[in-house]
Amino acid sequence: MPDDPRQTQEFVSLLTNHQEVIRAYIISQLPGCSEVHDILQEVNFLLWEKRLNFKLGTNFGAWACTVAYYKILDYRKKQKKDGILVFDSDLANLLSTESENKVPEALAAKRDALNFCLKKLSDKDRALLGARYDSAYSDMNQVSQKTGRSLASLRVSLSRLRAGLKDCINQRLGLEGRLV
């Protein structure tokens, strides 16, 4: 891709539009990782540095995920060294192949649907999800302390809430006939 302002602008637009796709890709490779935001920023920087290698008109998401894969490899090694459980490389490869063709529109639609579904939750359930996704309490023990619930109860509730939200989103998207 030539480094002229118009094409650079197009690149930035693609990169901006694919943020959720890249974020989801990172999470799929490193589930439970608390440094997703940091990794995403590093991947963004790497993509920016490699922008001249990208051919406009080709699949940006797939290219970005390939670039991200190598950055994630570094993190996986680091996590492994720190004693954190990480996927083995065969599984990481499989997941990478199966998730690299996601399109931004699908995630945007899911996000819209999520907003609808969140409104259907009770205040208590929303508060629980809020506590879990508040970055100040990323560790489950902290969430447990904050919410005053046991770890076992938290696990069950979060699993139930996620399953319910997943179904609700699918139903909502099915109703709207939107891309999943």
Nearer to other proteins, 59 or 99 (CB): 99
Q: Return the SS3 of 180.
A: coil
CA angle 28, 134, 126 (to 5 degrees): 95
Reduced 3-state DSSP string for 114-172? HHHHHHCCCHHHHHHHHHHHCHHHCCHHHHHHHHCCCHHHHHHHHHHHHHHHHHHHHHH
* Nearest-approach distance from CB 69 to other proteins, in angstroms: 15
Q: Smaller CB distance to other proteins: residue 34 or 53?
A: 34
Question: Which residues contact other proteins by CB under 8 A?
Answer: 3-5, 8-9, 12, 15-16, 19-20, 23-24, 27-28, 31-38, 41, 44-45, 48-49, 84-85, 87-88, 90-91, 94-95, 98-99, 102, 106-108, 110-111, 114-115, 118, 129-130, 132-136, 140, 151, 155-156, 158-159, 162-163, 165-166, 169
In 3D space, the residue among 45, 40, 35, 46 whose CA is nearest the CA of residue 79 turns out to be: 35
CB of 76 to other proteins, least distance (A): 13
CB of 160 to other proteins, least distance (A): 9
State the minimum distance, in angstroms, from the CB of residue 42 to other proteins. 8
Residue with tokens 């065969």: 90
- Report the residue number, 19 or 59, with the smaller CB distance to other proteins: 19
Nearest distance, CB of residue 28 and other proteins, angstroms: 4
**Geometric angle at alpha carbon 163, from 110 and 128, rounded to 5°:** 90
